Amino acid sequence: MTPRLWAAGALVVLLVALIVFTVTTVPWHRSPAPRADQLAALDQLPADQVARSRAFHAALRPGSYTSMILGLVLALVLGLTPLGARIVELAGRPFGGHWLAQAVLGGLAVVLVTELITLPLAAWRHTIVVRYGISTQSWSGWSVDLLKSLGVGAVLGAVVLAAFYTVTHFAPRWWWAIGAAGAAGLVVLLSFILPVVVEPVFNRFTPMPDGPLRTELLALAERDGVPVKDVLVADASRRTRAVNAYVSGLGPTRRIVVYDTMLTEATPGEVVSVAAHELGHAKDNDVLTGTIMGALGAATAVIMLYLLGSWQWLLRLAGVDSIAEPRAIGLLLAVTTVAGLIAGPAQAFVSRRVEARADTHALALTGDPQTFEAMQRRLGTVNLADPDPPSWEHAMFASHPSTVQRMAAARAWARGDR
């Protein structure tokens, strides 16, 4: 049997595994609370705060959608014309056109082109979040974080590009199998190392001082049966006024992280309510589930890219001979960009169901729907979340239930609708 037939068979197996795993682990039955409850919750929010939140998102939309469209257009131009291949060639020319130099430097150059062209839109967004008081960063601080992000992305990208094209170079017939296994393994590895290696690049984490709140959070985790290594405070205030808390890491790296802004803006009970929600993710192994889904998806994507290599018309548009050569990096960018836009709404839908389950977990763990609802009002008000966004936009992009959906869910839980 040829490698292509083996790849097609492996793709079917991976797709079935991904579908079965998703169907059996995602809480599909968790629908939003009744619309009447949502409207009642919306009516109780201060009208001026609702108007300010909606004005904030209205100001962001033009730049956000322009950036998304521009990113898609750039990816298609770089991938479906010889321009991407030409950039890769130029990047590798100082090193004699060596395939590894083309792979690493050419790949980074293609990504850098898109980053630079969309940079003005990112800067425009920064002006808006500063104007509305969400961001506390100066332009220098914003620029430093941007450079850090580019640096981290460049390091990870260089490693991935070097590994991928080394495999395609030395195993031209079976690179899809090695690449699929490597992509899956990389997703799993990053789930463990990102919290302890990458997160500290952007924030400083210090142990929460001993006191009633730290004691209560650790007791909450113990009562929930979720081992955590520590409770940390992130210095989020140096860049934002937004409030948040989360549980990060897997196994020995798991810790509760609270924004320092949360400690100043929210009550201790609200902090506990947020932590209870995040512990729900750990209790239900949502990070592990997401990691497995990501690993299966990454392996599937590699094999699909291999099979796309038989589409000669696609290769001709890109001006390349093989999808496995470094000069085809632009084509890979185009394919992954389109695939990401198509898969985005489905991923958002799954995320909202998982988040709704974590909300229910928080309500059950704390037994305090009033504080949970107050916490949702706090998050929405301080973070300027649109409490009731347009339904189409929510369905396409929202990773969490809306503020009024979460408030309504707390009311439904309080009256026994569980």
Can you say whether the dihedral through the CA atoms of 141, 143, 147, 153 is positive or negative?
positive
For this structure, is 388 an active site residue?
Answer: no
Bridge partners of residue 240, in order along the sequence: 135
Closest CA to 121 of 51, 54, 73: 73
Decide: 205 and 232 in contact? Cβ < 8 Å.
Answer: yes
Which of these is catalytic: 265, 359, 368, 386?
Answer: 359
Is residue 400 part of an annotated ligand binding site? no
Task: Report d(CA 226, CA 358) in Å as an integer.
Answer: 14
Confirm whether 359 is a catalytic residue: yes
Backbone torsions φ then ψ of 245, nearest 5 degrees? -150, 155
Determine contact, residues 320/328, Cβ cutoff 8 Å. yes
Instruction: List the structure tokens of 368.
Output: 């305090």
> Which are the contacts of 141, defined by CB distance < 8 A and separation ≥ 6?
238, 239
Catalytic annotation, pick one of 278, 368, 386, 388:
278
394 annotated binding-site participant: no
CB contact burial 340-376 (16+ within 10 A = b; e otherwise): eeeeeeeebbbbbbbbbbbbbbbbebbebbebbbbbb
Which of 384-413 are b and which e, b meaning 16 or more Cβ less than 10 Å from the residue's Cβ?
A: bbbbbbeeeebeeebebbbbbbbbbbbbbb
Quote the CA–CA distance of 91 and 130 in Å, as a whole number: 37
142 CB contacts (<8 Å, ≥6 apart)? Answer: 126, 135
Q: Using an 8 Å Cβ cutoff, are 98 and 75 in contact? A: no
Q: Is 393 annotated as a binding residue?
A: no
What residues are designated binding site? Answer: 277, 281, 355
Q: Would you please indicate which residues are annotated as catalytic (active-site) residues?
A: 278, 359
What residues are designated binding site for Zn(2+)? Answer: 277, 281, 355
